[in-house]
Amino acid sequence: MTWATWTGWGLDGFTNQMFPLALSGIIAAFGLTTAQGGLATSCALISSAVGGVAGGRLADRFGRVQVLVLVIAAYALFTGLTATAQNFEQLLLWRTLEGFFFGAEWPVGAALMAEYATPERRGRALAWVQSAWAVGWAGANLAYLLSHLWLPDTVAWRVMFVTGILPALVALLIRRKLRDVPAIKVERKPRERGAFAELFSPGLRKHTVLGTLFGATGLGSTYAMQTWIPLYLKEERGLSVSDTAMYIWFMIAGNWLGYVLGGRLHDRIGRRWAFTVFYLGTALFGFLFMAVPLDAPWYNLLLAFVVGFFISAQASGKGALFTELFPARVRGTGAGVTYNVGRGAAAFSPALIGWAAAGTGLGTAIATVVMVCTALTLLFIWLLPETKGRVLD
């Protein structure tokens, strides 16, 4: 079951990180502006918020595995169709639909994995599954390098999206024998209130609102770093494409280790303290990474590794937290709302940095957004209950 869910997150990392790498070729192929490229990114993130809510609700109603297989199949379809786009409008359509099913996959897989894991190991179990994101990111980087070795930019990006179908097919094959946890009761009696009404009932309203705010500010910090660091290295630090790629490889390596080890700390010291350590670490080492002179290359590469570690270590606990906040009958819906509505709100973080960079410089804009988001994230996590070791119904 673990490997079956692991492949889903690997697919997420592969296809999601593929688009930024392919964006320069897409802009060249269609003659787009940078603003139009940013619009395609934002549309995918916003539609993923809608997809996350819908996917979680469907998983609560019809079962985790059945919905998960449907989502993966649709995800693969629209990834492949992106390669066929002939103009900006078609690209926007396929990206928006792909984003919808990308968002739908997360809460379904998180709920399924959380219900299989034991309470004392839930954090590390979900963190291990999420480590597949780093593997998928590495696969996207490799696909980018190989496709651009032999093909022009205007063609290579299409080949990249065609390859995005392959990991989806692997995920579907692995998940054929997957089953829901037997004790799960996903059917709802006619007289019961709706799932969304229950999320905002007195007993769960605090969890829903604060969880969504925590998701939004936490992902806002993550998007600020992951979206703009490559351009910052190239434009403000003057690095070449190959040197920038080297920094990204080190960041990916730290990313994978952060997922694997971060979950263990979440299980050992609790969600609140673990998130506090990891978000403060992201901000601190992120600032150092952007400030250290380039005449110390190995020190900079080490900092890239550490930044990647802390970014993923904070993310490693979210699957456990968001599923532990809600009972089984609305667990998928609750995880979908808190994570994906938060992701939709956080989609404005990169746009805000791009707007502010014109006046303050890119490095200052990134640092300001990270600082504000980190402060708010720590406030929200300490207003939420500690869920370490919670037994799920």
Q: Find out whether 78 and 97 touch, Cβ atoms under 8 Å.
A: yes
Interval 261-275: pLDDT, tens: 888 888 889 989 999
Q: Are 118 and 106 in contact (CB under 8 A)?
A: no
What number of other Cβ atoms are within 10 A of residue 248's Cβ?
A: 22
The pLDDT of residue 171 is: 60
Sequence-distant (6+) residues with CB within 8 A of 365 are 352, 353, 354, 356, 357
Tokens of 108: 């379904």
CA distance 210 to 207: 6
The 8-class DSSP code of residue 337 comes to: I
Specify the pLDDT at position 309.
94
Residues of the chain with pLDDT under 50: 184-191
Q: At 158, phi and psi to the nearest 5?
A: -65, -40
> Measured between alpha carbons, how far is 148 from 160 in angstroms, rounded to an integer?
9
The predicted pLDDT at position 50 comes to 85
pLDDT at 140: 82
pLDDT tens sequence across 362-373: 788 888 989 999
pTM of the model: 0.76
Cβ(219)–Cβ(386) below 8 Å? no
Tracing tokens 């996903």 back to the chain, one arrives at 186
The vertex-342 CA angle with 341 and 346, nearest 5°, equals 120
H or E element in which residue 386 lies: none
How far lies 127's CA from each of 69, 71, 194, 197, 255, in Å?
21, 21, 31, 30, 11
End-to-end, the C-alpha distance of the chain in Å comes to 19
